[in-house]
Structure 1
Amino acid sequence: MNELIKTILNHRSIRHFEDKPLTEEQVKTIVQSAQSASTSSFVQAYSIIGIKNKEKKKKLAELAGNQEYVEKNGHFFVFCADLYRHSLIGEQEQKDIIPSIESTEKFMVCLIDASLAAQNAAIAAESMGLGICYIGGIRNNLEGVKELLKTPERVIPLFGLAVGWPQKITGQKPRLPLQHIYHEEEYQQNPNVYLSQLREYDELISSYYEQRTGGKRKDRWTEQIANMLERKNRMYMKEFVQNNKLDLR
């Protein structure tokens, strides 16, 4: 097993970082790694906003639900879906591209491009001995985030990536069994097999939480996910995306 694969398989979210900023060279390397990711039809429909300013990080942390690690890290990256530059391209080349960039397909391209770039960035950071934590909480209040980051129409902040020197290394959460995720030739959908696998996984996760918390927590994965999905969360998203002239049809 080579070192890159070891880095990938050793991933865990880090939520406590040393008070030590990343160097300019580290930031540049992480961004260049992100840019090296595959991009649909070479569209490159994303942008990355780096946050170093402590006050701005503090405000972002508040908008993200008071998550401390949004404020206290070595560098904070915000990955955005971005078709703003493409609207300018249409004007420059005198082409009617608006129906295309306001389509659901191009919105999906934005999301996929940004996600691929972010994962490249995450792996690059971890390969340098840094820790990372993805932050979906910035979508709790996207109006506030857009105002803070001054993003134009057709640009939507999707998620953050906190990067820094780990203060402590946490345990690694067991993932779903491979056979539950990986299907060959066609989707295997026998509900009895699925439920059996989920029961086994529930036991594994419950044991993990119990050991990690000294018996204070031992909830099952299916219990945790069902409770989370039962809560209506960020239900304003469709309207917000449409108001920013993305995904209109």
Structure 2
Amino acid sequence: MTTIAELVSERYGEQVNYGQGIAAEGTIKQILTRGSQRHFTDKPVLDDLLKTLLACAQSAPTKSDLQQYSIIVVRDAEKLEALGAMNSGMDWPTKAPVFMAFCADMRRIQKLAPIRGHDHQNNNLDTFMNGVIDASLAMLSFMYAAEGTGLGCCPISQIRNQMDRACEIMELPAGVFPIAGFAVGWPEYETPRVSMRLPQDVVVHYDRYDDDKLEERAEEYSARRHETSPIGPGKQRHTDKYGVLEFCPWTENVVRQLSLPERPGFAAFLKKHGYDLV
């Protein structure tokens, strides 16, 4: 019997004192053991299953029942090839049996407003955030439902590297933009090793925010993570500027990554694409 304590301990890389003697089953076991899947067989995902999973996505909670998101299932071969060509060496997601984009969507209600004789007065930062959250929750619901059937999934942030081009390929009008691409298929290999996460006492706070022990706990985490999943030269960030380390702590790598601007044109794109962000 695999216990909850064993799976949680594996997720954190350190022993926990809860869940001992309790069998890990069902959804809890599925989530605690999940990992992103990047290698798929050629076996198709049948339409009936896909539509069922999309219904699961739409069953996610949504702010005020506004449902400000859309899902683009990309099937056209030319569009898939064009999306795959956007990022060098990153065409594998578009070669998955199913490739989708989860999108924030302000356009739908903007279009409905004049039909019902009303103005749309909420082209603002809050609507942007609500759409992103709605799309994220839908994506998460799809992912857990899909993985529950044995499918493998992987969200893809690289689709935001060239937002203009991605929107052009998928013909997304103003007010609609992808928060993430999403690859789905039957796994070619077993689920990858569980990715170790920061200690719960670093991420979860009770009554007030407290990061007094952040440095100590984050460095302990980096050391534990290095034992099972060392960050090799190929995964170290910005080695042209910072060089290659024999031991690259997680803390070093994430700070390196965010030491240079990422997607600096994102706000300008959103404003050009219909979002006022006020």
Q: Normalising by the residue count of structure 1, what TM-score does the alignment of the two structures yield? A: 0.92
User: Would the alpha carbon gap of residues 38 and 173 (structure 1) be closer, same or farther in structure 2, given more than 3 Å must change?
Assistant: same
Tell me which protein shows more helix as a share of its residues.
1
Q: Which residue of 2 aligns with 1:49?
A: 72
Identity of aligned residues (%): 33
Q: Which amino acid aligns with 1:94?
A: G
Could you tell me which residue of structure 2 aligns to residue 172 of structure 1? 194
Say whether 1:183 aligns with 2:205.
Answer: yes
Q: What does the per-residue CA deviation read over 1:169-201, in whole Å, with 9 as the maximum and x for residues that have no partner?
A: 3211101111111111111131xx111101111
Q: Separation in 1 of the partners of 2:246 and 2:73?
A: 36
Q: Is the 8 A contact 1:58 1:70 kept in 2?
A: no
Q: Which amino acid aligns with 1:84?
A: R
- Give the CA RMSD over aligned residues: 1.9
Does the 8 Å contact 1:129/1:165 carry over to 2? yes
**Residues 129-173 of structure 1: per-residue CA shift (max 9 Å, x gap):** 011111000011111111110111111111111011111232111
User: Unpaired runs of 5+ in structure 2?
Assistant: 1-23, 234-244
Q: 1:201 to 1:87 in 2, by over 3 A?
A: same
Aligned residue for 1:210, secondary structure, equals coil
State the secondary structure of the residue aligned to 2:180: strand
CA distance in 1, matches of 2:277, 2:207: 34
Alignment coverage as a number of residue pairs: 243
Specify whether residues 54 and 89 from structure 1 end up closer, same or farther in structure 2 by C-alpha distance, changes over 3 A only: same
8 Å CA contact 1:207, 1:218 repeated in 2: no
Check 1:37–1:46 CA distance in 2 against 1; reply closer, same or farther (3 A cut): same
SS in 2 for 1:63: coil
Letter in 2 for 1:108: M
Runs of 4+ in 1 over 3 A off after TM superposition: 210-213
Q: What is the rounded CA distance, in whole Å, between the counterparts of 2:247 and 2:50 in structure 1?
A: 38
Question: What are the superposed Cα offsets for residues 199-239 of structure 1, whole Å, 9 maximum, x if unpaired?
Answer: 111101212223999xx975211111011101222110000
Q: Is the 8 A contact 2:128 2:277 kept in 1?
A: no
Instruction: Give the SS at the match of 1:41.
Output: helix
| Structure number with higher relative contact order (C-alpha < 8 Å, ≥ 6 residues apart) | 1
Q: TM-score, normalization: structure 2?
A: 0.83
Separation of aligned partners in 1, 2:256 and 2:193? 23
